[in-house]
Amino acid sequence: MPRYRLLLEYDGTRYSGWQMQQNARTVQGMLINAARDAFGKVGEVMGSGRTDAGVHALGQVVHIDLPESLPSNRIRIGLNDNLPADINILNAFPVPKNFHARHDAIGRSYLYQISRRRTAFGKNLVWWIRDDLDVGGMRRASAIAAGMHDYRAFADNDPSEKSTMVLVESVEVGESGDLILIRIRASHFLRKMVRRVVGCIVEIGRGNLPLDAFAASLENPDRSMTMTAPPSGLFLEQVRYKGESYRTELCPAVIAG
């Protein structure tokens, strides 16, 4: 079966995450059903990584095996015609049979949106925080995160993970109007890691945690950091493969109202 690479965006609000589950609506499940409806049958469908319930994607990468060679535009239109409005295929193109969306990825970028005001339109796309936040303190905390560290303190226990060491390439904190944007780029991410890193940075911004609490948890991974940001503000922004570059601008994922 020919293999294709897909680029997806989705609003994860109505879904129990990316990965297919019994008796649950998932993005992967919807994609498989759409492919069957459009093309009759489907082979392997694999994403670059899991996103949790309520988490969104601007650039989820998927490989999919289809029964015959088809024009890229026909694949994109055929899938979109059978997908709900909150899942969208941005592009599709053929790749070698050995391309693997997860194993071939060399970097991933997540974006988190915090709103400093109540919004009537974007509540599922932001974390609204009433408290004043010290953005300078949040930036200083984020700088500590970069580098190779043991992130066990910021992750749920996952027996499938062979190591809790993660190479974090960068953590940026920016502002755009009423939004505070946090972007985290790393080789890979542990379960709940991004949301707990954001939760810790926010608590430092609120003044509820000293700046050295972040560094202390990296140095002593037995000090669990359980402050977990809600899934609503989190987006899988980009997945990077060999020969590809990250986008440079730090801007909102969507207009949040």
Tokens 């005001």 belong to 117
Q: Provide the strand spans (E) within 66-191.
A: 87-95, 107-115, 127-128, 147-150, 165-176, 179-186
**Alpha carbon distance 118, 249 (integer Å):** 25
Distances (CA, A) of 40 to 35, 52, 68, 166: 7, 29, 10, 40
- Give the CA angle between residues 189, 190, 194 to the nearest 5°: 65
CB atoms within 10 A of CB 112: 27
Cβ atoms 228, 163 nearer than 8 A:
no
52 an active-site residue?
Answer: yes
**Alpha carbon distance 186, 156 (integer Å):** 17
**Widest CA span in the chain:** 58
Q: Which of 11, 37, 52, 212 is catalytic?
A: 52
CA dihedral of 139, 141, 146, 150, whole degrees rounded to 10: -160
- DSSP string of 7-44, one letter each residue: EEEE-GGGSS-SS--TTS--HHHHHHHHHHHHHS----
Residue 198 gets which letter from DSSP? H
Catalytically annotated residues: 52
